[in-house]
Amino acid sequence: MSVKIEVIEGGIPHQKIMIAGLVSTLVCLYLTYLNVLTNTQMFSFFGGLAVVTALIWGSHTIKVLCSYGIGTGVPSAGMIAFGSGVIAMLLATKFGAAAPIAALVIAAIIGFILGYISNNILNMKIPAMVQALTEMAVVGALTLMGFAALITGGFTFATLTTGTVSLFGMSVSSSQISFIGGGLIAVAFLLGAIAIQHPFNATLGPGWKQDRMLMLTAECGFLSMIVAAIMSFALINMGAALLSLIVGIIGWAYTYNQYICLSKRDAAAWLDAKMIPDVEGH
Amino acid sequence: MSAVAAKPQAGGAMNPTAMGVGVVMLLIILALCWYVSPGIGLMALIGIIIGGVLIGFGTHFVPVGGAPAAMGQAPGIATGVAMLAAGAGLAGLFGGAWAAEQGLVVATITGGVGGGLMMAITCMMVNFVYVFGMGIPAASGKVLNDPITGDSQKEFKSQGTEGHGLPFVSFVGGVIGGFLAGAGGTIIYLQLLTLYEATLPVVMRLPATQVLPIAVAMAGMFAVGLFLVNAVLTAYNITGTIEGPHDPKFKRWPRAIVASAVASALCGFVAILIVAI
Amino acid sequence: MEQIVFGIGITALTGALATIAGSAEDTESNIGSQGDPNSQVQLAPQMGFVHRIFNKAVAGEPPAYGLWCALGAGLAWAFMAMQINAVLAIVLGCVLAVFVQGVYATTSYLGRTASLAKFGQPVYVDILKSMTSVTMAHAFIAIFCVVTLCHLINSALGHPFPLPLLGLIWGIALGAAGSATGNPYYGKERQYQNQKFGAGVPISASGNIVRYAEAGERNSLDNGFFTHKIGGSASGVCFGLIVFLEIWRTVLFEQVSAGWGAIVVGILMILIFTVADRYIEVWARKNYGPYTEVKVES
């Protein structure tokens, strides 16, 4: 006897969320490219917004997939999304300004083949599997690219592998203080992998409501943006990092507050230090 | 981590056409790699495929009971299969990466031993807690006699449960699984490391010492990513729980070999393309 | 020789840190009720058993701890790259990681409980307030120990991986070891304390967790002190042994016959643990004896 997931339909259809998420993520990623055009780093915070929009899309995909009962659990879906996404994202960074589009295409191919493998070779035969895994790989790649843009100011391979370190007061170029060389990509990987599956995992149950789940996704996205912005202090200039941090904190505070209000709306009762109520004589 | 099927599973049937398509895809990817980067690239890809298959196959040995195991209702370890295999394999990868400069064979076996050691300690402590902490002996629910020791299982299974703890065959399975997963992950890491150390200085126009942190971090990150992809595919194959090599679900392993091979080939090819284009 | 002595000293320190981390991790996940036993906390209201237990559904322990430790390590790495002192950097990094962990814990409790509204399970705000700080405190101990041991492995023992990647690896390993060892103890012994000792929980009793106990209505803090004694200590010993033996055999023996020394020692250790496990299994069969089929177990 274990937990039953009951699917409650309703809310905005998945297709709309997918298109909205994809478009806004790509727009936000390209807005960070303004950094290159204007030779500053002030637009890095758009990377964080790209993360939030991609996660909103991705968490809804996980809801669609896991509602069929894949038998293993929700966190595995997040892991495979980001496992395939990180590989696609690293190749896509080689394509310069076309990196987000490249990430979309490469991740879609990888996700499609993984979906085919799961559905046909592993015989899972779930109708939404192929599309869901394709979408999740794309979400994984774009989220990681968003983190990279937030922390380093750009999404090309050169930006992600170079950094500077001060040696005796002089700035020396070092690959060890960089997004990839310093291992920050591992942190972004797990931040995204947990954030993408947490909203559905934490709100599943008979009383699942779409707006509450999506608000939680936004909250997870902004929370990840806060810590990523703190990590970016080491790699981009203080003003830009501070801007990302402030945007993240404001976004997080708002969405967290909204989430608590929505939970209050949906809960059976909101008690403070009260006894267990009597429910049918148990 | 215990969401359960709302619909019946598709079962353990093989799908020969899909397996055939999988093998064809594998050959196509190998051919593409040979075209793009014969020599060092192709060697790396073959190593990655072998590593991925080892991870996928090894994860079948690891005894995982899921949510019922946490209540003493099913044998196995009470954690998710993908993450338990990843934990053991990553501990092995840690050891293997440390021994990287001692050559491929030594480093791979060191990685395997690291993974196997972690599983051995974990499985022993699981039985320790069951026996001395909860007073419950180990019993399997899927076989009447333990295949290795011959102990009878039925009368040691408490009523109303499917078994509990880790019978000896599950312990051995866990150690073998940890060994294979650790070895597989280390092979992937080493192949990518050698490839990147050789090609990144040219691609990035930097001296070799500067390139080393990037090569290590990228190879490590790819190894982690491939680990998780292969482990999750195996979790899909066994639909979440398995008692060990004696479990009837173990017979599904051919599907997983093909699936892991294709997935690892694809991801490995993408990893190689980073330095080949 | 001096190098090896230094290495052994660091190894002993990492072993001690790992033991503390393992124990704190398991206690934290029992106070928050995370991982596989949490499925019972989720199931209980659906079977009519409303409770006051914290429902912390943040993935399983391995990925969750992978995140907290990688995050703590990543933040510490960033602070160290800004030339902040290593100890302060690690402490600050872990504090921020624990903040993230606390937020995830609260959102999961609110989310899961609000989705169980149909069964009359209320959201207890006092549970939220009291449990969150305790679980964050235990998590801080675990994360701090793991990030410190990763820093020691990276800087003092010279492992090639960067600090965040080491944090990811050891975080996932910590979660796997702690959850494997501690979950059955929490799930069977404490959640189902009203079932007979010495047998698994029968499937018919699913969902009927203990809700009224020693000090009135049970909450997760009561679970913490109970499971810490045996489950927490076992998890600590498990993870401590894993880290210590893995590093010990490498530091001492990796130069012996070009690496084969460490491999042989590792295989010997596996054999020793196999023998120990077999001994435990046989001891149980001999001293506990079989369950009889006829008697009704409950």
pLDDT tens digits, one per residue of C207-230? 888 888 887 888 888 888 889 999
Q: Say whether both C178 and C76 belong to one domain.
A: yes
Whole-structure pTM value: 0.93
Residues in chain C closer than 8 A to B114 (CB atoms) = 246, 266
Which of A3, A230, A282 has its CB closest to that of C43?
A: A3
Residues in chain C closer than 8 A to A202 (CB atoms) = 57-58, 107-108, 111-112
Class of residue C157 by CB neighbours under 10 A (exposed 0-12, middle 13-18, buried 19+)? middle
**Shortest CA distance from C64: residue in chain B:** B83
pLDDT band at A256 (very low <50, low <70, confident <90, very high): very high
pLDDT band at C295 (very low <50, low <70, confident <90, very high): very low
Question: Is B74 contained in some domain?
Answer: yes
Chains that touch A (3 or more CB pairs under 8 A): B, C
HSE on the CB side for C279, CA within 13 Å? 7
What pLDDT is recorded for position C283?
93
Residue pLDDT, tens place only, A55-105: 999 999 999 888 877 666 788 888 888 999 999 999 999 888 889 999 999
**Tokens standing for residue B130:** 């069951």
Question: Is A7 contained in some domain?
Answer: no
Residue pLDDT, tens place only, C155-190: 998 899 999 999 999 999 999 999 999 988 998 888
Alpha carbon distance A220, A201 (integer Å): 13
Question: Is B267 contained in some domain?
Answer: yes
The residue that leads in pLDDT, C152 or A154, is C152
**How many domains is chain C partitioned into structurally?**
2
Interchain proximity A273–C162, CB inside 8 Å: no
Relative orientation angle of helices C125-151 and C86-114, to the nearest 10 degrees: 150
Q: How far is B150 from chain A (nearest CA, A)?
A: 31
Cβ-Cβ contacts under 8 Å between B and C: the total is 294
Looking at the complex, does the CB of residue B23 fall below 8 Å from at least one CB of chain C? no
CB atoms within 10 A of CB C88: 12
**How many domains is chain A partitioned into structurally?**
1
**Shortest CA distance from C46: residue in chain A:** A3
Q: Which domain holds residue A47?
A: 14-160+176-265
Interchain proximity C242–B158, CB inside 8 Å: no
Question: Is B11 contained in some domain?
Answer: no
Q: Say whether both C273 and C209 belong to one domain.
A: no
Mutation for testing the A interface, residue in B7, B232, B234, B275 having most A CBs under 10 Å: B232
Instruction: Check residue B78 and report its DSSP letter.
Output: S
**How many domains is chain B partitioned into structurally?**
1
Beta strand pairing status for C123-124 and C212-213? Answer: unpaired
Distances (CA, A) of A49 to A272, B15, B173: 36, 43, 46
Residue pLDDT, tens place only, C142-151: 999 999 999 9
Question: Is B25 contained in some domain?
Answer: no
Which of B134, B137, B151 has its CB closest to that of C188?
A: B134
**Tokens standing for residue A243:** 């801007």
What pLDDT is recorded for position A281?
52
Residues in chain B closer than 8 A to C63 (CB atoms) = 83
Which of B66, B103, B136 has its CB closest to that of C198?
A: B136
Residues in chain C closer than 8 A to A189 (CB atoms) = 168
Question: Is B43 contained in some domain?
Answer: no
φ, ψ for residue B40, nearest 5 deg:
-65, -35
User: Would you call C217 helix, strand, or coil by DSSP?
Assistant: strand
Q: Which domain holds residue C76?
A: 2-253
Instruction: Check residue B70 and report its DSSP letter.
Output: T
Interchain proximity A72–B80, CB inside 8 Å: yes
Q: Say whether both C130 and C243 belong to one domain.
A: yes
Residues near A12 by beta carbon (within 8 Å), at least 6 away in sequence: A210
Looking at the complex, does the CB of residue A89 fall below 8 Å from at least one CB of chain B? no
For tokens 């102990």, what's the residue? B151
Q: How far is C173 from chain B (nearest CA, A)?
A: 4
Residues near C205 by beta carbon (within 8 Å), at least 6 away in sequence: B160, C192, C195, C298
Which of C157, C167, C168 lies closest to C254 in space, CA to CA?
C157
Average pLDDT over residues B253-262: 90
Q: How far is C137 from chain B (nearest CA, A)?
A: 23
Cβ pair B87, B119 in contact under 8 A: no
Q: Is the pLDDT of residue A119 over 50?
A: yes
What is the dihedral sign for C-alpha B121, B125, B126, B128? positive
Residue pLDDT, tens place only, C15-46: 999 999 999 999 999 998 888 888 888 888 88
Q: Say whether both C232 and C111 belong to one domain.
A: yes
Q: Say whether both C65 and C166 belong to one domain.
A: yes
Q: Which domain holds residue B126?
A: 48-276
Cβ pair C109, C56 in contact under 8 A: yes
Residues in chain A closer than 8 A to B226 (CB atoms) = 83, 87
Residue pLDDT, tens place only, C44-73: 888 888 988 898 988 889 999 999 999 999
Interchain proximity B110–C199, CB inside 8 Å: no
Alpha carbon distance A30, A113 (integer Å): 27
Q: Say whether both C226 and C108 belong to one domain.
A: yes
Question: Is B167 contained in some domain?
Answer: yes
Alpha carbon distance B134, C265 (integer Å): 32
Interchain proximity A69–B5, CB inside 8 Å: yes
User: Would you call B166 helix, strand, or coil by DSSP?
Assistant: coil
Residues in chain C closer than 8 A to A273 (CB atoms) = 124-126
- Paired residues of B152 in beta bridges: B145
User: Would you call B241 helix, strand, or coil by DSSP?
Assistant: coil
Tell me if ipTM is over 0.85.
Answer: yes
Reported in sequence order, the residue ranges of C98-244 that DSSP labels E, i.e. its strands, are 123-124, 212-213, 216-217
Interchain proximity B271–A183, CB inside 8 Å: no
Q: Say whether both C147 and C282 belong to one domain.
A: no
Question: Is B191 contained in some domain?
Answer: yes
Question: Is A225 contained in some domain?
Answer: yes
